[in-house]
Amino acid sequence: MKKTILIIMALVILSPKVYSCVGKTLTIGVINTSEGQVLAEMISTLIMERTGTAVNVMLYKNAQDLYEAVKVTQVDISIENTTRAMLVLNRPAETDVQKAYEIVKATYEKEKGLIWLKPFGFLKGNGEGPPSYTATILRNEILNNFPALPRLINKLGSSINDDMHIKLIKSVESGEKPRNVARDFLKSKKLI
């Protein structure tokens, strides 16, 4: 009996890393706003429905706490806008949103190991500040275990215009559960 247990333990410990990602849970971290909640639920639902991978959503009170969680690898996927990202990089504000996106995309990958995916499509971002792209960001290491994830999440790229964004936020603020709002949106776009 002891020999059998030792053999099983050895197999588990010595198994190739490929098998260790089976059962892996991804964590999405966002700032606790209506926008953050609904976008996180959208990504979470899309991943769970299309891949069967378990996903947790963690809410943070501010960007500093969120970035700290990403830095210590407690968060695998996050959502950011280009205006705040330029501040994080200590860069001056950029009025050309496409240029800002290209700057943060290149700099985040090089300096932080974070990959920016396609922007969602809306430019208002909670109606605050100058126009800004909002996009999903993945830790680079996640691509090793989930190489198809960018292609899946990029299906949300350009799918939410400013009017739809306002509608989604108002639905959450009027008391609808972010998960239900996200699911209804994904169904309307035939993504699930």
Whether 49 has a pLDDT exceeding 50, the answer reads yes
Looking at residue 93, its pLDDT comes to 87
Dump pLDDT digits (tens) for 67-113: 999 999 999 999 999 999 999 999 998 889 999 999 999 999 999 99
Dump pLDDT digits (tens) for 121-159: 998 755 567 789 999 999 999 988 899 999 999 999 999
Classify residue 153: in a domain, yes or no: yes
Is 192 within 8 Å of 45 (Cβ atoms)? yes
Distance of alpha carbon 169 from alpha carbon 34, whole angstroms: 6
Domain that residue 98 falls in: 22-188
Whether 20 has a pLDDT exceeding 50, the answer reads no
Q: Which residue has the higher pLDDT, 14 or 118?
A: 118
Whether 18 has a pLDDT exceeding 50, the answer reads no
Classify residue 43: in a domain, yes or no: yes
- How many domains is the chain built from? 1
pTM of the entire predicted model? 0.84
3-class SS at 35?
A: helix
Classify residue 12: in a domain, yes or no: no
CATH code of 162's domain: 3.40.190.10
